Amino acid sequence: MPAGRVGAGFALPTTSRICALARPVGTSLRHSALNLLARLRQTPFRDWPTLEVTVAEASALYVAGFLVSAILGVIRQILLNARFGLGEEAAAFYAAFRLPETVSLLISGGALTNALVPVLVRAFARGGSPAANRLVNLTLTALLSVFAPLCLLAALAAPLFVQTVLAPGFDPATQALTVTLTRLLFLEVLLVISEAALVSLLVSRNQILLPALAIALRNLTLIGGTVAAVVVPEVGILGPTIGSLFDALLQIVILVPALHGHHFRPRLLWDPADRDLRLTLRLLWPNALSGLSNYAGNIVDVAFASLSGVTAAVGALVNAMLLIGLPVRLLGLAIGQAALPALAACGVANDLAAFRALLRRTLLIATGASLLAALALIALGRPMIALLFERGAFDAAAGDLTYRLLAIYAPGLPAYVATEIATRGLVARYDTRTPLVANMLQLAARIALSAILIGPLGPIALPVAFVLAAALESAVVLIVLYWRTR
């Protein structure tokens, strides 16, 4: 088994080393961040992009990246709310934005990364960087050859999709605007898929610095597009839409120095019989269906919100999910993604004792912190919404509706976080079907509950249905994970 290079200058067999990096996971984020800063000072700047980090250091990097991204996301939302409020343009943008947003969260931060990382760990252990680079190119060629024509077909079918599925309650003019924005944002899907594969190559080696920086700078060009719409009103909602496309491109550009360190060159490579590609696709298709299920859930929310008779419900839903999404990213996605390569390496090394210990500590730390975060959102959510959002076209009534939704989403936060981490535990054991089944159960429960409750509760039905369905999903994945790791 070839030895892997470590930025600090030492080397061990790859899977053993990465599994060993799991040991300090209980270390405080502050201590991990200080230790990482000390290592960076001792490492030549040119080697920073390929510096390998521990799980605790990776958690600190991801938390910092998601935190900066969230701050920029709040700034973006403040500008969007001030310029567009919760009116028709905003509703069209939020509805159209659902697809790339879901792909970004579930492919770049979930489906494709989860499928690729365990296989890349195994491929690198067997054949080093050439084998890992080859797998990334095989995967990109296969996925883009499928998604490029699908995006073209979806763009052609966008009018029917918007009118019958995504936003049936919008008036014709708002539906037409939604179609235009949706077609533009389909381009982002291809960029997000490419970024996800490239990020996976770095994550599989615990080289997290540039992926975390890419996360941190999300929303930067979208903010620029929104500022353009404020300064030049004629730009309108096209400003943030074009800004979103450039955001996806920026994520790829940031990764270039680390990819250069791996001698990675993107190229078309077609070999359907490759066993690593087949394993990746076998792990990916349940993740992809889970992604479609989650996107369907987002469509359900938008559709029911548009039918609730409250036009502001769509925008309020987006604002509430933005706030609840911050702790999910910091505690679920960040810590789960940081632990994934180590969990996969422990599995490859057949060190189940280390696997269970890492998973147990990760779940306890993340869910405990998420409970505190839920209490904080309930207690401080209303003044926070007033401070962040209530200006310009976003008035106190919009703030009240947003808080009512947020206060119902918040108690489900431990379940959301536990699902993110438990899913990565199952993926590290090459099980992506259980998360799919759990996700489909969640979607079915969410649709049924929304349909039953939307009449008597109005927009409040949507977070109620979401919390109850999420609790069901979390219970399923945790129970199966317990049995799979005994």
User: To 5 degrees, how large is the angle CA 70–CA 74–CA 79?
Assistant: 145
As a whole number of angstroms, the distance between CA 278 and CA 50 comes to: 28
The number of C-alpha atoms within 13 Å of 433 and in the hemisphere containing its C-beta is 2
For 349-372, what is each residue's pLDDT tens digit?
778 888 999 899 999 989 999 999
User: To 5 degrees, how large is the angle CA 166–CA 170–CA 172?
Assistant: 110
- Give the pLDDT score at 161: 83
- Give the pLDDT score at 445: 95
- Give the pLDDT score at 218: 86
Q: Give the number of other Cβ atoms within 10 Å of residue 360's Cβ.
A: 12
- Give the pLDDT score at 25: 47
Cβ atoms of residues 461 and 450 within 8 Å: yes
DSSP 8-state assignment for residue 13: B
- Give the pLDDT score at 104: 55
Ordered by start, the domain boundaries in the chain are 14-484
- Give the pLDDT score at 289: 78
As a whole number of angstroms, the distance between CA 441 and CA 484 comes to: 20
Which residues, given as ranges, of the chain have pLDDT below 70?
Answer: 1-29, 99-110, 311
- Give the pLDDT score at 341: 86
As a whole number of angstroms, the distance between CA 120 and CA 140 comes to: 14
Length of the chain counted residue by residue: 486
pTM comes to 0.74
Residue 339 amino acid letter: A
Distance of CA 110 to CAs 131, 224, 328, 475, Å?
22, 27, 13, 19
For 112-162, what is each residue's pLDDT tens digit?
888 899 999 989 988 989 999 999 999 999 999 988 898 888 889 889 988
Which of 413, 463, 468 lies closest to 445, judged by CA? 468
